[in-house]
Structure 1
Amino acid sequence: MSDRKNTPVGSRETFAAYICDELSSQLIAPHANDRGWNPEMIFQGGIAAAVRALGAMSCPEVLIVDISDSPDPREDMQALAEVCEADTVVIVLGTINDVTLYRDLLQAGVLDYIVKPLTSEIVHEVLMAAEDALHLDEDAGDQAQDPNSQKRIVCVDARGGLGSSTLAANLAWIRSSELREPTILLDMDTYFGTSCLQFDIEPGRGLADALENPDRVDTLFLERAVVKPNDRLSVLAAEAPIGSMEQPPADALERLMEALGENYQTVIADIPRNIMGSNPDILTGATDVIIVTDLSLAAARDCIRIRTHILNYSPAARIHLIQGMQGRSPDEVNKVDFENSVEMKIVAEIPFDSKAMLTAAQKGSVLVDAAPSSRLSGAIHDISSLFGANERESSAKPKSWMKKILSR
């Protein structure tokens, strides 16, 4: 490994890492080398060394910083923000499982926060995601649109009935009504979906046509096919007779998601688990995948399988593990043991709130609209902030200290 005092000055490197321990450096080096990245750009010293070095050199395209030895990670990240280029893909390593910091980092645009100790598999996955993120930036070319403004969010339950459909509908409402983003909610449970029920509306008739002929999906088609709970929110769903829907063609969902992304700033897809197996192309191009789980043995098994599947079909997607229906029944597995087993952190918890759910059903509206002061509504707003600050928060608070990192 290189010593930090020998950090080169000059043209921009593809990759650099500033690590606090030798073992992590040794794990990262071969994976960097496999991608043609210079392993000599791995330095000891952590984030403090990164701040010193980047003050005298161009920031690399991919930057790994280790905050394990930092007495004040937020202050050090503030210092890093002053020397970090806007388009750098940032990965943060640390030893503390701090959900608040994790949320701040993701909201700012940091690719991932990895809790040590590292494994070869984790390093491989995060560097692959970083490489894919670089390619996505290249594909974006000279687009004037903020690359972080386009969102394709897929929601799925690790087991049935944990609340991913409720979460998807409420996120769609927040993005459209509160943040005023043109948003579409795609409900792929064509027989038993609840998206339209939650908004107390009748589904349109266009989803079957969209699945059979995704190339037809344009602005004119969508005007006829969707239903609109509010001016900025469209819902594409069906309540088809059981057995009446044909299996979509192999790449139909990928093309449909692309078409929706061309017409809406935010696309939220609520999918049953079986869709991932029969039509994994729905994951292609996803920016984020939300897995809603409980703390059961079966869910632990299936979270591992779902995560592997996502990494195979959408390695650049950020995966968010969320505990749903918290408090409804006793946990089978301790939270820490569950996280260690699935190799993911639970970034948010959705409490079971039967009173708020009843209020929403009686009012014929989504939870965040019908019961805005409930704990459940607050939890969903916190989850929405993973994809950009809530309007009500951003108007009341100064810009997050982390925002500088990728928005300078």
Structure 2
Amino acid sequence: MLPMNVLDRQNAKRAAAAGAADVVAVVSDAGSEDVIRRVVQDLSISRAHVQPGNCDDAIRLLQQHERSPRQLIVDVSDSVLPVSDLMRLADVCDPSVRVVAIGTQNDVGLFRNLLGIGVQDYIVKPLTVELMRRALTATESVVQVRTGKIVSFVGARGGVGATTIAVSLARCLAGEKRRRVAYVDLDLHGGGANSMLGLSSNNGLIELLSMEQRPDEALFDRMFVTKGDRLHVLSAELAYGDDATLRDDALAQLVDMLKDRFHYVLFDVGERTGRLFEDALEASDLVYIVADRSVHAAYEAARLARFVKELPGERLLSMVLNNPLEPVKGRVAPADFEDAFGGVRLRELPHEPQPLAVAENLGEPIEGSKRRGFVEEIWRLANGITGESAVVAGTVVRPSNLIPTGVEGSDMLGTAANERGEYFFSA
């Protein structure tokens, strides 16, 4: 067995090579490697990476890089549950990656299941040059079955902490959960997200919303400011008094581009009026209304809920009750909020001003030793979105709903996606 430091160097070299590749193949036998290398050479694909391994190795490889390949070939020969393994793989690669699975099971049921989750093709070993070439050059696309999910945060009134919660969730999804996240601050005159993340705006959001034509990939990437390797921020900072002239379909086009590249797109909906506000909520898979324990916030939250209900399409709606001010007698009780919203269960965040104030001023996450109830609740929100064991209250909002009635589920976005026939990979 090779010494650990030699293995580490080998893994680092493989990861570096894969990070720059357009085609990545992780296969378990030398014969398959040879066939894929021949096809890559025949097709003059200059940026390709082929290595031995299985689905777990492919997952570890992709976890080390921000950029996913355009095409991925993965060997599921050794997988006991190949569909489940490929679902785990979907969590670490972009939604737009075209995936070709290879294996030893000549099973029609498996083939259909893999196509059902968005795998482009399944090839039974032994591989041939012609089959592999056909898979890599196929122009027809499978049905678009996996795209990133849009999550919007809107405050019932100013100062309830919607941006604080959204930024904390973005950090969790990109950091602990290792998902690719786009954070879009829709306050065109300068929202608070950049300050909380220790970043400066480059006005990339205005640039994208003002473009007449769809930008190429390189230009699109330059519009973001990044925090780490998986959190990408779009924002603007127009001068006060200036307005932006936007096309009617500007946000819809942006959403299409974002959903192809990110697992989650978080909209920080600052203003509660205007075209961007309406378009963002309409495009959302999940809307969080954030309120504090005031009568005014309860009233405005109810109005927002009715507005979301009246939008075309369907989406999930969830209420977050935040405590930015110290709880005192006379404020609206959580039980009264639940009654006002037809019994919907709320996610309540505790009052923890000191660690939040320090983190916000430093532009850093809450210090590890001070992580208590607030961070734990953010973790539960993240689990509810990704479907990892936590229960989060929400409801599917359809035009027939009057006010959300509350449905508990371990994966709100997953449940809604299944109802629409959307699953994991896309072509």
Instruction: Give the TM-score normalised by the residue count of structure 2.
Output: 0.54
Q: Give the CA deviation at 1:165.
A: 0.4
Q: What is the identity, as a one-letter code, of the residue corresponding to 1:270?
A: D
Q: Per-residue deviation at 1:336?
A: 2.2
Structure 1 residues 376 and 142: alpha-carbon distance in aligned structure 2, compared to 1, 3 A threshold: closer
Alpha-carbon displacement from aligned partner over 1:162-198 (angstroms, at most 9, x marks no partner): 1110111111111111111111000011223011101
How many angstroms apart in 2 are the aligned matches of 1:254 and 1:371?
42
1:173 aligns with one of 171, 175, 184: 171
Query: What is residue 190 of structure 2 aligned with on the other side?
Result: 192
Give 5+ residue unaligned stretches, structure 2: 1-83, 85-114, 121-143, 392-408
Matches within 5 A, 1:3-402: 143-144=118-119, 150-213=148-211, 215-275=213-273, 279-325=277-323, 328-330=326-328, 332-343=331-342, 345-367=344-366, 373-389=371-387
CA–CA distance in 2 between the matches of 1:339 and 1:324?
14
Letter in 2 for 1:185: Y
Report the 3-state secondary structure (helix = DSSP H, G, I; strand = E; otherwise coil) of the residue aligned with 1:249: coil
Change in CA separation of 1:232 and 1:249 when aligned onto 2, cut-off 3 Å:
same
Distance of 1:329 and 1:249 partners within structure 2:
44
Secondary structure of the residue aligned to 1:243 is coil
The 3-state SS of whatever aligns with 1:274 is: coil
> CA offsets per residue over residues 333-387 of structure 1, 9 Å max, x none?
23222222233524311112111113313543133x6666232211211121220
- 1:332 deviation in Å? 3.1
Determine the C-alpha separation between the residues in 2 that align with 1:255 and 1:168. Answer: 23
Separation in 1, partners of 2:370, 2:220: 30
8 Å CA contact 1:360–1:370 kept in 2: the answer is no
Moved more, 201-210 or 217-226: 217-226
Kept in 2: contact 1:168–1:268 (CA 8 A):
yes
- Greater C-alpha Rg: 2
CA drift at 1:243: 2.2
Partners in 1 of 2:368 and 2:238 — Cα distance? 28
Runs (5+) with no aligned partner, structure 1: 1-85, 87-139, 394-400
Aligned counterparts of 2:385 and 2:359: Cα–Cα separation in 1: 24
Shift of 1:254: 2.2
Q: Could you tell me which residue of structure 2 aligns to residue 74 of structure 1? A: none
Distance 1:147 1:309, change over 3 A: farther
Give the SS at the match of 1:153. strand
Letter paired with 2:171: W
Cα contact 1:203–1:237 (8 A) shared by 2: yes
Change (3 A) 1:219 1:347: farther
Q: Which moved more, 1:289-298 or 1:326-335?
A: 326-335
Q: Percent identity?
A: 23
User: Once structures 1 and 2 are overlaid, which stretch shifts more, 314-323 or 241-250?
Assistant: 241-250
- What is the SS of the residue equivalent to 2:338? helix
CA RMSD of the aligned region, Å? 3.4
Aligned-residue offset at 1:317:
1.0
Higher relative helix content: 1
- Structure 2 CA distance for aligned equivalents of residues 219 and 342 of structure 1: 43
Local SS of the residue matching 1:165: helix
TM, length-normalised to structure 1: 0.57
